[in-house]
């Protein structure tokens, strides 16, 4: 009996040590990931000549001055770029989640000829890199006269094979077809069934994919840079890339860091307030799928 108790104590002590090591490693990785954001915040509060002196662990007192300088700087249309990025990102999130959920529902709820072939084709499209089709896409947009327009940045999000796959996997475990059949018997139309019954059931998956689509579109530089050339239509990644390619001696580095902070801040806010939906949605989708 004494040996058993001693063995239990040793086992629990070993588990406690393993957990402690895991937490220490996770804390260290978190600090490493957050360090660059902390440096960004500190430099956004410092003056240009202070930044040139080197690294500082303490914030400065120029945060409001740098903020006002960025907002009223005609060469840095941050507010306009923020609005443009918000329009594109929100539109992309709405289009990609709704259309992917609708596509997954049609394949999940209907049994038709060519169903498996269609699923295979959708998954095959996911393997094609965006860069491969970029030249043809730009030529097509020029033919349609849609350059310097938000439509090419939003509408193509309707075709999102990865989002469709996630929705389909989640739907297979969360949407029983008996509910759809009952709605049809009651005389509900297909779109009413989808919007009134399927969408509420799919809320966790939709929330997760909407967040990912929003952040991905917010950080997207490649496609907007090909389509947008007018300054008033540019998004934040294009503005930041312009700052990175410019001669830093001609810029107030405090304003540059403040501009980057304003660009990153919305994404941080989205993750802070909606991270629980990401964790819950991914966990439920992976278990039920």
In a domain, 176, yes or no: yes
In a domain, 55, yes or no: no
Q: Could you tell me if 19 and 156 lie in one domain?
A: no
Measured CA to CA in angstroms, residue 276 lies from 160, 200, 229, 283 at distances of 24, 18, 38, 11
In a domain, 255, yes or no: yes
Q: Which is it for the CA torsion 142, 146, 151, 155, positive or negative?
A: negative
Summarised one tens digit per residue, pLDDT across range 203-250 is 888 888 888 899 899 989 888 998 998 888 999 888 887 776 655 556
In a domain, 62, yes or no: no
Q: What is the domain count for the chain?
A: 2
How many helices (H) and strands (E) the chain has is answered by 15, 0
In a domain, 118, yes or no: yes
For the domain that residue 276 is a member of, what is the CATH number?
1.10.3720.10
Structural domain containing residue 14: 2-44
- Predicted local confidence at residue 95, as pLDDT: 93
Q: Could you tell me if 167 and 203 lie in one domain?
A: yes
In a domain, 57, yes or no: no
In this prediction the pTM is 0.80
Q: Could you tell me if 38 and 72 lie in one domain?
A: no
Q: Could you tell me if 121 and 208 lie in one domain?
A: yes
Measured CA to CA in angstroms, residue 284 lies from 90, 210, 250 at distances of 24, 16, 51
Q: Could you tell me if 162 and 131 lie in one domain?
A: yes
Q: Could you tell me if 36 and 102 lie in one domain?
A: no
Closest CA to 82 of 260, 252, 263, 268: 263
* Below-70 pLDDT ranges, the chain: 1-8, 244-250, 275, 277-289
Q: Could you tell me if 278 and 164 lie in one domain?
A: yes
Q: Could you tell me if 114 and 221 lie in one domain?
A: yes
């Amino acid at each position: 009996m004494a040996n058993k108790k001693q063995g239990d104590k040793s086992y629990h002590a070993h588990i406690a040590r393993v957990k402690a090591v895991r937490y220490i490693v996770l804390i260290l990785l978190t600090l490493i990931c957050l360090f660059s954001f902390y440096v960004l915040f500190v430099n956004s509060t410092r003056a240009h000549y202070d930044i040139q002196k080197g690294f500082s662990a303490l914030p400065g007192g120029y945060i409001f001055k740098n903020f006002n300088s960025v907002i009223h700087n005609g060469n840095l249309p941050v507010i306009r770029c923020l609005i443009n990025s918000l329009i594109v990102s929100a539109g992309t999130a709405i289009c990609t989640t709704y259309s992917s959920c609708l596509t997954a529902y049609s394949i999940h709820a209907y049994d038709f000829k060519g169903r498996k072939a269609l699923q295979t084709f959708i998954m095959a499209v996911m393997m094609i890199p965006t860069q491969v089709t970029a030249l043809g896409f730009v030529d097509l947009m020029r033919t349609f006269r849609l350059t310097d327009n938000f439509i090419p940045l939003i509408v193509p999000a309707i075709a999102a094979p990865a989002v469709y796959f996630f929705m389909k996997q989640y739907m297979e475990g969360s949407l029983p077809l008996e509910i759809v059949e009952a709605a049809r018997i009651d005389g509900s139309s297909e779109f009413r069934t989808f919007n009134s019954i399927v969408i509420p059931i799919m809320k966790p998956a939709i929330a997760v994919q909407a967040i990912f689509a929003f952040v991905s579109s917010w950080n997207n530089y490649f496609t907007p840079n090909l389509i947008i050339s007018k300054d008033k239509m540019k998004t934040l990644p294009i503005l930041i890339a312009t700052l990175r390619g410019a001669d830093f001696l001609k810029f107030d580095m405090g304003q540059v860091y403040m501009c980057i902070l304003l660009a990153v801040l919305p994404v941080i806010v989205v993750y802070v307030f909606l991270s629980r939906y990401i964790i819950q949605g991914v966990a439920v989708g992976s278990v039920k799928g």
